[in-house]
Amino acid sequence: MVKTDTPLINLQGVVKKYPIGIDDFYQALNGVDASVDEGEFVAIMGPSGSGKSTLMHIMGALDTPTQGKQFFKGKDIASYSEDQLAEIRNKEIGFVFQFFNLLPRVTVFKNVERPMLYGGIPANERKKRVMDALSIVNIADKAENLSNHISGGQIQRVAIARALIMDPSIILADEPTGNLDTKTAHEIMNILTGLNNKGRTIVIITHEEDIANFAKRKIKIVDGKIVSDTKNNKN
């Protein structure tokens, strides 16, 4: 990964309005300015409904703002077509969600392999990359298990392996530990910390302070506005 001065993600004056009903809307983001640099480990915190997921979706090119600017690696992507956004998502961003979005009746191996199926990568190379990614999250021995026959913590490790498989610039994780007991949640956060120590940029959403404390920076959002953005002094 080559380091540059351009932020990985830069949002300026981002407003997001969701249509509700015929001519009414709900304003989920109220003018958000935020940047994420390469190598950062950021926790986005805030009450339920404050706009955390909306913000992450716009950071990750899953959605575009109603108003405002949205840059990814210096490129203005707010006006990109759905196909162009999909390409950025596939190549540059690894997503991990709270409700384990693996295909349940498919093996761990096949779940992690999936993002590569559209990239023309030969089968032997795919196999090597899947096994390497599973080793990083310590779950290579479960490669042939069905994804509904492993524990919640194991599922999240597989989700992280899958997020890593295209060697993305950034991992975005929306409440990745929200469904896990404290010990398992801390294991997942230790894995993410290890990835960040090796230079991977990570943004997570959490409403738990002990989880946010694993990150190096905390952004707090209330009613669609950032109310604080601080370095984590516990690191």
Ligand X SMILES: Nc1ncnc2c1ncn2[C@@H]1O[C@H](COP(=O)(O)OP(=O)(O)O)[C@@H](O)[C@H]1O
Between 53 and 154, name the residue whose CB sits nearer to ligand X: 53
Q: Are 45 and 221 in contact (CB under 8 A)?
A: yes
Residues that bind ligand X (rule: CB under 6 A) add up to a total of: 12
28 binds ligand X (CB under 6 A): yes
Q: Which one among 32, 46, 191, 226 touches ligand X, defined by CB under 6 A?
A: 46
Between 113 and 174, name the residue whose CB sits nearer to Mg ion: 174
54 binds ligand X (CB under 6 A): yes
Binding span for Mg ion by CB under 5 A among 29-37, 51-59, 71-79, 112-120: 51-59
Shortest distance, CB of residue 195 to ligand X, whole angstroms? 23
Question: Which residue in this structure is represented by tokens 């390469």?
Answer: 38
Between 53 and 156, name the residue whose CB sits nearer to ligand X: 53
Shortest distance, CB of residue 224 to ligand X, whole angstroms? 7
For residue 85, what are the CA distances in angstroms to 52, 67, 77, 171? Answer: 20, 17, 8, 16
53 binds Mg ion (CB under 5 A): yes
206 binds Mg ion (CB under 5 A): no
Interaction partner, residue 123 (Mg ion, ligand X, none; CB < 5-8 Å by kind): none
Distance (Å, whole) CA 201 – CA 37: 8
> Residue 152 forms beta bridges with which residues?
none
Listed in order, strand segments (DSSP E) in the chain are 9-20, 24-36, 41-45, 67-72, 75-76, 93-97, 170-174, 201-205, 217-222, 225-231
Q: Find the DSSP H helices in 102-149.
A: 108-113, 123-136
By CB under 6 A, name the binding residues for ligand X. 18, 20, 26, 28, 46, 48-54
